[in-house]
Each structure stands twice: as structure tokens, then as C-alpha cells.
Amino acid sequence: MESSGVIRLHYEELLFYAACVCNCWSVCLCVCVCLEGRACRRGGGGGGGGGGGGGGMRMGSSWRWQLSRAMRLALRWCRLCRPQRGGRGGGSKRWISGRCLELWSYSKLLLKSLYFNSLSNSDTLLDCVFEPVYWIVDNVTRWFGVVFVSLVILLTTSVLVIVYLFVLPTILSTYPVYWAVWHLCCGHWLLVMVVFHYYKATTTSPGHPPKDKVHIPSVSICKKCITPKPPRTHHCSICNTCVLKMDHHCPWLNNCVGHFNHRYFFSFCLYMTLGCIYCSISSRDLFVEAYSAVESYYQTPFPPYTLRETTAHKSIIFLWVLTSSVAVALGGLTLWHTILISRGETSVERHINHKETRRLKEKGKVFRNPFHHGKLNNWKLLFGVEKRSHWFTRVLLPSSHLPSGDGIMWDCTFTRRDPMAI
């Protein structure tokens, strides 16, 4: 008695095969329709002469030959389903089970030979399914980067106008002299740092691997640029190029964050967060007064406010809501990048190292980040601090110095007693 075969499949293989079958039939149908239309046009145009008729016949025979190959393959596939004569009862059921298993094995072999390999998994399938979405997002981000930058400039300018027209006059007229001086110095210092670092982050190139040099330290070859990729280098699909020490593509900068502008990006996030917190705290009392005044607008009789006063009330409410919202959102992003910098990672490397940690944990090993030099040393490398005075001149004041290293060669911190698990 022959035992019936049991087919065990992973869910990603089933999804993968279903997608492949749909794609194959769709592509074959489109190709056959296009070739048939071309063959008919060629044949019709050559009806008056022998040369034209011969060209149409050759084109028609070519696509018919391709179609016949596909039909022969389909017939061979269907021949496996044809029942043998004389099968009865239980033998017929066993034959159907065996034929179905053979049929599925043959189909599986065909699909694997065309699309599948041992490296394919559910992540690969999801990447293929969402490829159109990635393409749309990349192109939208690329073309709307200018819009995002303009929006940042517009909102920042509106905050400055409101502060200079309504907040600063109130501070100078009601606060003591030392508090007024402190507000003037602190506010303008934050403004200079925000403007400087945002300009440098948007205009500074993140750094790219040299394409004219072949003999450079590399860990792989970029599949899209077809050039060597140094360590910590990744391809940006929006900029369509490889970026040294790539962190991410920031639409608010319309630029990639990489080796040469990582410091500018983080400093902009830090000082913009501090500036928003400063504006939110400084205008809190004005916001409470303005909110109470706006609520009184709906009372009868209407309170005797002038146009300037109503404009000031609404502007201060807009200022407080905007700066508080940005402080919360951008503060969370700044905190996240603070954690990454302390660990010696970028946003891309965080996902890679997380997967590598889980993979090595299953094997009983421990993953160690080779670019982690200790929390303090990681901050020194980011800000380019080489001596104590640099904390003031390069961190607390605008500085356009270059980062440490060239983004191609990287120092690893491990010795023989502290090896990285491989």
C-alpha cells in the first residue's frame, strides 16, 4: 500500500508562488497581444509587395514559435494530470495523489528556476510587493523636498515675526533689566545656531564614495551604482547614489544625512528643540492671557479690543501651539538620535545590528558593534572635539570644521580579548 505524500509549505512560499503565477500569466498575455498586433500590422502593410509580406511572415512566425513553446510547456504540464487507463477504486485515488504531488513538484521546480532561490523569504516578497509604493514615495519625497524646506523657512520666519512684534516688546517693557538682557542674549544665540546649522545641513554634501577609484576599502558592491561600497555606506534611492555613513534621507533638509553633515543635522535638531522650548516657556503667560481674551470674543457685548490687540492674541496662540508641538515632535527625534550616537550607530545600522543581534543570539553568540568607542568618545568623534576648548568653540558656537576621518576608513575598537562575534 503506497502512503500518500504530504506537502508542507511555508506561508511565504505559497504567497510567493501565487504572485509568480499571476505575474507570469499577465506578462505572457501582454507580450502575446503586443506581438500579435505588431505581426498583423507588418503583415497588412506588406500585402502589396513580396518584401513586405516576407517581413510580416518572419515576424509572425517568430512570435508564433515563442507561443508554441509556451503551449508545449503547458501541454507537458497538463499531461501530468491526464489519468492512466485502467485505474480503478483505491488505486485511482493513489494515482491522483501521486500525480498531484508530481505536478506540484514540477511546478515548484519551474517557479524556483525562474524566480526563487535560497535567500528569498517573506522580507523579499514584501519588498517586491511594495516596490511600487517605494517608487512613489521616493519620487514624491525627491520633488517635494523643496516644498518641505520652504515650509521650514516660512514657519521659522513667522515665529520670528511674532516674537519681534509682540513678545519682545512685552519682555522689554515689563521684565527687569537683567531678565531682559538674558532673554535677548539667549534668544539670539539660539536663533544664530538654528539658522547656521540648518543652512549647513541643507547645503553640505553628505559624502559619496569615489567612483574613479577602484582600489578602496569596501565590504560589498552596490547593486544599483555598481561601485564598491566602503563600510557604513548605503545607497539612497531618493538621491540615487551611495552615501558615506548614511543615516537617512531627511525631506526637511532635502538632503541625505551622512558623514559630512551628520553633525549639522543633529545640532540643528538640538538647537531647534531648545529654541521651541524657550519660546514656549517665555510666551506661556502671554498665551494664557491671549486665550482668555479670545474666549471673551464670543461674549456680549463684544469687548473693546483694537485690531492690533486681536491680531496679537491670535498670533501668540499660534506661536505657543506651534512651538510646543514642534518641541514635542522634534524633541522625540533628537532623543532618538542621541541614543543612536551614544551607541555609535546610525538609523540604518540600528536595524541591521538588531537583526544581527537576534541571529547571533540564536547561535549562542553576542554581537558587538565595531564602531562603538564608548559614549563620550562617540560624541567627541561626532562633534570633532580634540581638546577641552572645542566643547565651547565647536559645540556651543557655529563652526564649519570637518568631521574626523574621510568616511571610508574606520577604526574598530576590538582586540583579541574582546572579539566581535562573526
Residue numbers annotated as active site: 250
* φ and ψ at residue 354, rounded to 5 degrees: -65, -45
Q: 349-358: long-range contacts at Cβ-Cβ below 8 A with a sequence spacing of 24 or more?
A: 349/232
362 neighbors 336 (Cβ within 8 angstroms): no
The rounded distance, in Å, linking the Cα atoms of 20 and 400 is 52
Collect contacts of 280-289 with beta carbons under 8 A, ≥24 apart: 280/320, 280/323, 280/324, 280/327, 282/167, 282/171, 282/183, 282/187, 283/167, 283/316, 283/319, 283/320, 283/323, 284/320, 286/166, 286/167, 286/170, 286/316, 286/320, 287/316, 287/317, 287/319, 287/320
Give the E-state strand segments of 90-224 in sequence order.
220-221
C-beta separation of 420 from 368 below 8 A: yes
β partners of residue 248: 257
What lies within 8 Å, CB to CB, of 290 at 6+ separation is: 312, 313, 314, 316, 317
| Alpha carbons 389 and 399: distance in angstroms, whole number | 13
Pairing of strands 228-229, 220-221: antiparallel
Length of the chain: 422
Return the DSSP state at 394. I
Beta partners for residue 255, in sequence order:
250
Q: Which three cell numbers stand for residue 212?
A: 574613479
